[in-house]
Copies of this chain bind each other. A is one copy, B any other.
Amino acid sequence: MQRYKGIIAYDGSGYSGYQIQINGKTVQEVLEKALKKMHKGIEIKTVSSGRTDAGVHAYGQVFHFDSSLILSSDRWVNAMNGLLPTDVALQSVEKVSQDFHARYDVEGKTYKYFLYTGKIRNPFERNFTSYYPYKLNIDRIREAAPYFVGTHDFTSFCSAKTTKENKIRTISILDIEERENKIIFTFTGNGFLYNMVRIIVGTLLHVGNGKIDPEDIPAIFAAHDRQLAGKTAPAEGLYLWDVYYK
């Protein structure tokens, strides 16, 4: 058996998230169904870098699987993309050593969050950006952002449903880019808790519209209280952009 590392992109709009669950169509399910077809009915299990929620997208989700087939990346990609639905597309497949693990070996991830700030709704953006046509002071957002960079206990900035005990994570980059009618947030860090990116974006929006002051952020961190942070920003603006390994 050969272990492979795959990179997959998906439009999450039509899915109940990445990870297989009892109700609702998932990306992992359609991926494993396509792999099964390629292996003449033999079930092929995949392990991903982590789940993404319903409606969340990915450019560079990573997974591993073991196969008796020895194919080049191009042949994997062509064959699999002929079997996958058009909202999911394999980008590359490479041979890795047998001890590579798509989840345990993650050293970092980049997420991007896209906000559509145009005054009038854009039907082409509806599933791919979060629509925010309200007043926003970007200078206040830029003032608040550095408080999130570095190593912190993110208890106040993750879902109350988070099961992980250790809530200390390191954000190495929080970049904010303004384009015409868009604001793009880029987060790079060693790990992200459940809803963490969406809650930080939601908090930055509250800073931008005046509900929270930039200098309030340290006290929100210190309180270890999810209630003090902003609302969870909608799923459709979020993309798992890249996953880093050793």
Contact = CB atoms under 8 A, between A and B. Distances in A.
B9 A122 contact: yes
A57 interface: yes
Contact of A121 (B86, B123, B126): B86
A121 B120 CA distance: 30
B87 A126 contact: yes
A103 to B, nearest CB: 23
Interface in A53-70: 57
A61 to B, nearest CB: 11
A119 to B, nearest CB: 9
Contacts of A77: 120
B124 A11 contact: yes
Copy count, this protein chain: 2
A122 B120 CA distance: 27
Contact of A120 (B10, B91, B123, B126): B91
A49 interface: no
A10 B124 CA distance: 7
B9 A87 contact: no
Interface string A114-145: 00000011111010100000000000000000
Contacts of A57: 124
A200 interface: no
Interface string A9-20: 111000000000
Interface size class of A (residues with CB under 8 A): 10 to 19
Interface string A58-97: 0000000000000000000100010000111111000000
A120 to B, nearest CB: 6
Contact of A89 (B10, B91, B122): B122
A123 B81 CA distance: 10
Contacts of A81: 120-121
A62 to B, nearest CB: 16
24 contacts: A9-B122, A9-B123, A9-B124, A10-B123, A11-B123, A11-B124, A11-B126, A57-B124, A77-B120, A81-B120, A81-B121, A86-B121, A86-B123, A86-B126, A87-B123, A87-B126, A88-B123, A89-B120, A89-B121, A89-B122, A89-B123, A90-B120, A91-B120, A124-B128
Given A86-B121, A87-B123, 10 more contacts: A9-B122, A9-B123, A9-B124, A11-B124, A11-B126, A57-B124, A86-B123, A89-B120, A89-B121, A124-B128
